[in-house]
Amino acid sequence: MIERILVAYDGSDNGQRAINLAAELSSKLNAELCIVHVLMHGRPTEELVRMAEVEHIISKADKALSPKMPFVSGRAYEYLSESRPDVQGARVISAIGDQLVSDAKDICQDLGAQVVKTSVRMGDYADEILEAADEMKVDMIVIGSRGLGVLRGAVLGSVSQKVLHHAEQTVVAVK
């Protein structure tokens, strides 16, 4: 019996579909829902920067970081586009992660899911998802089949593939 579901969300289109499916499953199965996001590391992909702009996540993150300063278009974007990580860039990435989880929680609750836990983590994507699943004692993991990575042609992304191979729980990979 499925009593607790973990959904891994990265902001990608497949991640959004995973959020929708996990919320629907949670609602229909009367299962608790946990949402996890693993902060990106290294240089951000073009897809993340595009998604952050389209969803206005950069301006929301900037507001969270500097609530008394008006948002200047491009300021947070510049931090994301830096090739070298720095403290301010890490803060922007963290704020974006917090915003993604907050938005995902709102969507899930609007779809009737009972969200019991959210988590923003840092580390290897797949390892953190697997650790979160164990720590939160979930019965199922829902994950996008491909996220914001650079290998668009892969049938299954490396993160979802690793989660599928190593999870002790049922894993649903969403396309």
> What's the pTM?
0.77
Residue 65 structural domain: 4-174
What pLDDT does residue 155 have? 46
What pLDDT does residue 151 have? 45
Question: How many folded domains does the chain comprise?
Answer: 1
- Average pLDDT per consecutive 10 residues, the chain (175 residues; last block may be shorter): 96 92 98 94 54 54 54 50 58 83 96 96 94 98 76 61 96 94
Measured CA to CA, the distance from residue 94 to residue 121 in angstroms comes to 9
Dihedral sign, Cα of residue 104, residue 105, residue 109, residue 114? positive
Which CATH number characterizes residue 110's domain? Answer: 3.40.50.620
